[in-house]
Structure 1
Amino acid sequence: MENYFGQTILTKNSMFTLATADIYHAANSFHSHRELELIYICSGEGTFSIGQSSKRISSGTIILIGANAPHMFKFETNRYYDYAMKHGRTPVPLKLLTLHFDPNKLGQDFLNLPENNLLSKLLTASKVGLQLEGRTKTRAIRKLKKLESCESYEQLPLLLLLINEISASQDIPPSSENDAIKPFKKIDETRLSRIYLYTMDNFYKDIKLSDIAGIVYMVPNAFCHYFKSRTGRSYFDFLIEVRIEHACKLLRDGNESVSAICTSSGFNNLSNFNRYFKQQTGKSPIAYRQEHRQ
């Protein structure tokens, strides 16, 4: 598994970096950095986790991640690659465009100007992770691509326009510093990364509590308490969420029967699968497939 990501440290003479990647599989560990991160998934699918929440992401997703917010990405497991090839489909290679920038390099006096009130709100709101949508998303992607190809003297003005475009969006939810996701301790970053990555690579198996607890060298009872105290939910609630997200992908993209998808997603009981699926999506598997085939 290629580790494309890592902590980003800008040089003292740089306000931002812009990087591209073309790979098939990528994963990283929970990490945080002082820069804001704007990541555009040009193509590919995977899972984005920030703090205690995880969500499925795909081609066209663009997310703004605030300073010091613990986050991780996991794209296309080898299992999905094998599944796609087996069913005669070519896996979509992962293509990312990632911007890291440090608004503090504009200077505190600049950031405190009343004209920058929207920017201050954005910096606060981004600490929980913002997925851009609608016109804001379209315009942000356009400017991000232009930033990639423009002359160096055009970069800073264009970057400020990009930030302003996002700041002025009506889609930015109100938030306060109390909503910000607190950075994990280093040991928690390591432990939770192991738990998340193991789960995403093995969710289709019968994962026993002793197995997952052993990944972080804990006994089962201590592990259950640890995971819930750090994420706000039980491990098996998280595991079911990962399995249902995978089932959703197969229902959208494949032609396997619901019972086959139930099994390949890690469930050994169709009744339980249907119940959990409806709890998470509000629909039955058949209704979900029909909706996404229209």
Structure 2
Amino acid sequence: MNHPNIIKEITPLTQNDCFTMFSRVKKEFNFPLHYHDEYELNLIINAKGAKRIIGDHIEVIEDMELVLVGPNLPHAWFTHECTSQNITEVTVQWHKDLLDDKFLKRNQLSFIRKMFERSSKGISFSKEAVTAIAPRILSLNKKSGFDSVISLMLILHDLSTSRSMYTLSDTGFTNDLVVTYNSRRLDKAFEYMNNNYDKAIVLKDVAKLVNMTEVSFSRFIKKRTGFTFIDSLNEIRLGHASRMLIDSTHSIAEISYNCGFNNISNFNRIFKKKKNCTPSEFRQNFSGTRIFV
């Protein structure tokens, strides 16, 4: 994954450590859009009005939030309209192989595994979850050694079972996105949609591909993912479109066409509904953060 306009950060986490944590109080956000190999849990307090970018998701935040960012997902917070003089930012980072795949596949780890899979798109937690967990994150640095590792594991477990977490970025934005639904049929359908998003895709073809009737497949995808077939397809297309808006100089009409949308007004309408901004406004948000290294 290589974004020409997004910086790759080398974090201070060494191979000998389980995780690193740093906490700071500041008046503004000044770190550019970046990504790194590690998982990151970011607690932000007193930053109402700041702007958060995770992958291709842009949002103005409230006074307190907690976000989990998966490996190599671009992210940053910007001061925007925040006037606070004491923004508190607590960042916890850990290696992506801290919990290896074999360990994560065991039953007792299933909630954490699903949360890690979802974090490849970025996860924001509900206000209730943040209020409950924040004191424990803030007191992590008072612990040391094995005690601190166990405390982090308990925090991750409680977050993974909390209600109302929501994913931020669109499918298709991150190349190395691997989310499995424990269903060969769904994996096959999503792989097909991801590989052919620029062509005309109709429900009939995808249902046939997985040996189901259209009605059965429609119900199946909605039950398993919470999204309809069309919503799922649009999310994949929007992910690729967002990527092109950042990484290329193609016109918006070209991008719309290249991502399988039948006309530009349809593309603009769906994009605005999902992202609360037009494709050109979205491009503008990223162009202000260009860093060439």
TM-score under structure 1 normalisation? 0.54
Residue equivalent to 1:261: none
1:154 aligns with 2:147: yes
Residue equivalent to 1:144: 137
Q: What secondary structure is seen at the aligned counterpart in 2 of 1:27?
A: coil
Aligned pair partner of 2:125 in 121, 125, 132: 132
Relative to structure 1, the CA distance from residue 226 to residue 18 in structure 2 (aligned partners, 3 Å threshold; closer, same or farther) is farther
Q: Which amino acid aligns with 1:32?
A: Y
Relative to structure 1, the CA distance from residue 18 to residue 110 in structure 2 (aligned partners, 3 Å threshold; closer, same or farther) is same
Could you give the per-residue CA deviations for residues 41-65 of structure 1, whole angstroms, max 9, x where no partner exists? 1222411112222001232111111
CA RMSD, Structure 1 to Structure 2 (Å): 3.6
Q: Is the 8 A contact 1:6 1:28 kept in 2?
A: no
Aligned pair partner of 1:235 in 262, 272, 280: 280
Residue equivalent to 2:171: 179
Q: Which amino acid aligns with 1:48?
A: R
Counterpart Cα distance in 1 of 2:30 and 2:73: 17
Counterpart Cα distance in 2 of 1:74 and 1:117: 34
Counterpart Cα distance in 2 of 1:173 and 1:48: 15
Relative to structure 1, the CA distance from residue 70 to residue 150 in structure 2 (aligned partners, 3 Å threshold; closer, same or farther) is same
Relative to structure 1, the CA distance from residue 183 to residue 31 in structure 2 (aligned partners, 3 Å threshold; closer, same or farther) is farther
Q: How far does residue 29 in structure 1 lie from its aligned partner after superposition?
A: 2.7
Q: How far does residue 100 in structure 1 lie from its aligned partner after superposition?
A: 0.9
Counterpart Cα distance in 2 of 1:108 and 1:120: 9
Could you give the per-residue CA deviations for residues 50-98 of structure 1, whole angstroms, max 9, x where no partner exists? 2222001232111111122121221257xx76xxxxxxxxx43322111
The runs of 5 or more residues in structure 1 that have no matched partner are: 82-90, 185-215, 241-294
**Matched ranges for 1:76-91 at <5 A:** 76=80, 91=84
Q: What secondary structure is seen at the aligned counterpart in 2 of 1:38?
A: strand
Q: Which amino acid aligns with 1:108?
A: D
Relative to structure 1, the CA distance from residue 74 to residue 239 in structure 2 (aligned partners, 3 Å threshold; closer, same or farther) is same
Q: Which amino acid aligns with 1:30?
A: L
Could you give the per-residue CA deviations for residues 158-195 of structure 1, whole angstroms, max 9, x where no partner exists? 011011011112324599xx9364069xxxxxxxxxxx
Aligned pair partner of 2:18 in 15, 18, 24: 15
* 4+ aligned runs moved over 3 Å, structure 1: 172-175, 178-181, 221-233, 236-240
Q: Is the 8 A contact 1:32 1:71 kept in 2?
A: yes
Residue equivalent to 2:51: 47
Q: How far does residue 121 in structure 1 lie from its aligned partner after superposition?
A: 0.5
Counterpart Cα distance in 2 of 1:182 and 1:150: 35
Which structure carries more helix by proportion? 1
Q: How far does residue 237 in structure 1 lie from its aligned partner after superposition?
A: 6.1
Aligned pair partner of 1:59 in 57, 63, 87: 63
Counterpart Cα distance in 1 of 2:172 and 2:131: 26
**Matched ranges for 1:215-294 at <5 A:** 222=250, 224=252, 233-236=278-281
Q: What secondary structure is seen at the aligned counterpart in 1 of 2:164?
A: coil
Could you give the per-residue CA deviations for residues 177-215 of structure 1, whole angstroms, max 9, x where no partner exists? x9364069xxxxxxxxxxxxxxxxxxxxxxxxxxxxxxx
The runs of 5 or more residues in structure 2 that have no matched partner are: 1-7, 177-245, 260-267, 272-277, 286-293
TM-score under structure 2 normalisation? 0.55
Residue equivalent to 1:37: 40
Q: What secondary structure is seen at the aligned counterpart in 1 of 2:33?
A: coil
Q: What secondary structure is seen at the aligned counterpart in 1 of 2:98?
A: helix
Could you give the per-residue CA deviations for residues 192-251 of structure 1, whole angstroms, max 9, x where no partner exists? xxxxxxxxxxxxxxxxxxxxxxxx9x9xx84656887899652146669xxxxxxxxxxx
Q: Is the 8 A contact 2:40 2:68 kept in 1?
A: yes
Counterpart Cα distance in 2 of 1:111 and 1:64: 17
Q: What secondary structure is seen at the aligned counterpart in 1 of 2:63?
A: coil
Q: What secondary structure is seen at the aligned counterpart in 2 of 1:105?
A: coil
